[in-house]
Structure 1
Amino acid sequence: MKPARGALEALIAGLRGQLVVTADWQALIALANHTLLTPALFDSLTQSDQSDRLPKEVHQYLRFIYECNRERNLRLRKQLHEAVVALNQCGIVPVLLKGAVPLFLSSGGRVPNRIMTDLDLAVEPDTLEVARACLINLGYAAVGFSGDGMGRPLDVGLLELRPIQRIDREPAKLASRCGVRARIPAPQSRALHWIMHDLVKEADYWRGRTDFRHLYDLALLAEEHEPDWAVLRASLPDRHTRNAFDTQLLALSHFFGAKVPEECVRRPLVRFQHWRRVFPLYHPFLGIPLRLVGNSLWALWRVLHGDGLALRNPFAMGRRAASILLDGDLGSKV
């Protein structure tokens, strides 16, 4: 999706609790829906006492989506609780990732406003098969289109079960809710995971894309926990990941006003990469060549460093390359 500048600025303002009364509401809602931020938008405006100033139809729609997502997240929390109980009974204390963390830590009728499509859990590699067997006993089955995904017909989301990756600077801390035990990554580790997942693993740094839902998650985490960005940056293994890290920090500062170290974001390369991501958002048609260059470089890298798909199945490789070039895998990103 290529959002209009006014819709994007109104969405960011709304997420910061500021209502833009002159917004194009149809464009704003379309963008909020695409980026999976509609419940967060309504919640933010409600918390800042601005939701009553919304046009009646807009207020009703946003509240409806918010309430539907709340009911869905209550079901997801019950599903997560059941899965963690089963793993505990098998002697496994899983590490919770991404949206599963605030969901597990919530209580009563209050759940996060975040839209979630799955629940991410990690276990020690030598317990992975035991963990899968535990979930199979609950009725879960592998989902073919999702490598680590397991699902059940009546659930509202998948479980993503994967081995723990040793990238965290600090060990995950044990948390207990009603006797159910899980491990929670430290805030700095969660922040690093958000950034590396989007900018490096999903190549948003190369391709000039932005996942505003994750960027908003990062902004909330930074506001609550104030990560030591300089220490996190120093832990990264090479210049490429540090450049990607700095580029996301600049986006975090630009859109959500987060405090980040000046030395991380003032380098010309970082500012150019940030401009390369922002320009197509504000100028969709003029930004097409920038996106095409980034996507082409990434497609070439995938061909040269892929899993041999180009030799085994040239047709499938061609489809994948076309999807990359045309942003066919954009999902909820912009």
Structure 2
Amino acid sequence: MAEFRSPYDFIVQCLAASSGHTTEDLRHDIHDSRLDWEAIIQTANAEMVLPALCARIQDLGLTPDLPADISEFFLGVQELNRERNQQIISETIRIARLLNEIGIEPVVLKGAAYLLAGVYKDLSARFIGDLDLLLPASMLTKAVEVLANDGYVAGEVNFGHHYFPLRRQQEVWVELHHSLGGGTSRSILPAPEMLKNSISRDFDGARLRVPSPNDLVIHHVLHAQIHQAHSEGIWPTLRTVYDLVCLQNRFERAIDWTSIAQQFRVNRREGALAAHLLLCEEVLGMKKPIPIRKTVLFQLRWQHIKMLRRFPAVRRMDPLYLFSRFVITRARRFGNLLRIAAGRKYLLRTPFRASFYLHRMHELLRIFRAATAPPHASERSGAASEDVNQ
């Protein structure tokens, strides 16, 4: 009898970029009575690829082989996510029309950009948490005023690289970005450069801009390896890895990997790109598009990542991980506060608010729970995750 595959392995084989696992092998797995569909659904949901799994099984022509109830469930997932994504795209176009009136063509980022750029062939295949738009920093205040006049209200305060999240009634949260991150991210991919390189397109009479293939890839790596270095940078969700696989499949030769590597190299973050490419190769079998320079420093970094992936509980005692998780992220947030007048005013007022100390107590409790939490619920070998990526 063939070796039984875990739910995580089954999902990986369905999504894999390159493997010896054929459609017939997957069909054999589907008919294996030991396959736990409830665990597969739970794992795919935790990895944020349930819609992608449904679409992939359909693309492979395996839907007729599914148990009747699972087939019906998967079709329902696709229908609901397609409807949600259509609503998000409609909302994006609506916002673009409002911003076009004051001379702004917003750049769509992350998941919505992948849909508009055709990275995912099936509209239902990508789960999207919120809508991210990049604007010129000088136009941010005007843009917020326009959206506020149309009924958008602000959520919790954020002094990072985007404005307060905005939402109109019960629609999707909208984040207006004025940069693509702090620190090194600003040098690797400056917002003005992405704005200049983006491609203006017409969507139902609204002008939207889609990032260039290179910038889509760079932003993807920045988000995983620098913004979320303590989570996605070690234990990337399958959605994160699959995004890069789909980007590579969609644009192929249009992506200048040599130029991308150079941008990371001159900013001394070549290791971040190399680590991400190796993780994508390890998880989904994506072939490395460029050679990896395995310096002594990078080899130490890679061995550290492999150790944490194999023994996730070690993170609770690992000084490098704890420093990245609880010190660097807070220092970066503090730096963002100091950078702008509203942030400095917020810092001066904060110590005199009773809610500040109550929040600190809740934060300490959250940190304690995170440190003692079991590994990620998925079936992946030795992986753990504490953050949900957008």
Match of 1:251 in 2: 279
Partner Cα separation in structure 1 for residue 368 and residue 179 of structure 2: 32
Match of 2:10 in 1: 10
Q: What residue identity is the alignment partner of 1:79?
A: E
CA contact (8 A) 1:101 1:184 kept: yes
* Partner-residue secondary structure (3-state), 2:207: strand
Q: Is 1:97 the equivalent of 2:109?
A: yes
Q: What residue identity is the alignment partner of 1:177?
A: F
Match of 2:214 in 1: 188
Match of 2:246 in 1: 220
Q: What residue identity is the alignment partner of 1:203?
A: A
Question: Which residue, 50, 63, 67 being the options, matches 2:79?
Answer: 67
Q: Is 1:264 the equivalent of 2:264?
A: no
Stretch moving more, 291-300 or 116-125: 291-300
Q: What residue identity is the alignment partner of 1:233?
A: A
Gaps of 5+ in 1: none
Q: What residue identity is the alignment partner of 1:149?
A: P
- Normalised to the residue count of structure 1, the TM-score between the two structures is 0.83
Partner Cα separation in structure 1 for residue 134 and residue 144 of structure 2: 11
Partner Cα separation in structure 2 for residue 303 and residue 180 of structure 1: 38
| Count of residue pairs brought into register by the alignment | 321
CA contact (8 A) 1:141 1:151 kept: yes
After TM superposition, the structure 1 = structure 2 runs for residues 76-95 of structure 1, keeping only pairs within 5 Å, are 76-95=88-107
Match of 1:330 in 2: 386
> 1:55: how far off?
2.2
* Partner-residue secondary structure (3-state), 1:151: strand
Is the alpha carbon distance of 1:273 and 1:44 closer, same or farther for their aligned partners in structure 2, counting shifts above 3 Å?
farther
Stretch moving more, 66-75 or 258-267: 258-267
Q: What residue identity is the alignment partner of 1:330?
A: E
> 1:66: how far off?
1.5
Q: Is 1:127 the equivalent of 2:139?
A: yes
Partner Cα separation in structure 2 for residue 102 and residue 121 of structure 1: 13
Match of 1:153 in 2: 169
* Partner-residue secondary structure (3-state), 1:318: helix
CA contact (8 A) 2:230 2:321 kept: no
Gaps of 5+ in 2: 17-21, 181-189, 336-346, 375-384
Partner Cα separation in structure 2 for residue 8 and residue 28 of structure 1: 7
CA contact (8 A) 2:153 2:166 kept: yes
Partner Cα separation in structure 2 for residue 275 and residue 54 of structure 1: 40
* Partner-residue secondary structure (3-state), 1:204: coil
Q: What residue identity is the alignment partner of 2:62?
A: Q
> 1:114: how far off?
0.9
Question: Which residue, 19, 25, 40 being the options, matches 1:28?
Answer: 40
Q: CA RMSD in A?
A: 3.2
Question: Which residue, 186, 205, 208 being the options, matches 1:179?
Answer: 205
Partner Cα separation in structure 1 for residue 58 and residue 316 of structure 2: 36
Q: Is 1:287 the equivalent of 2:312?
A: yes
Report % sequence identity: 23
Stretch moving more, 296-305 or 190-199: 296-305
CA contact (8 A) 1:32 1:38 kept: yes
Partner Cα separation in structure 2 for residue 278 and residue 60 of structure 1: 39
> 1:297: how far off?
2.6
Partner Cα separation in structure 2 for residue 158 and residue 206 of structure 1: 22
CA contact (8 A) 1:207 1:291 kept: no
Stretch moving more, 109-118 or 174-183: 109-118
> 1:12: how far off?
1.2
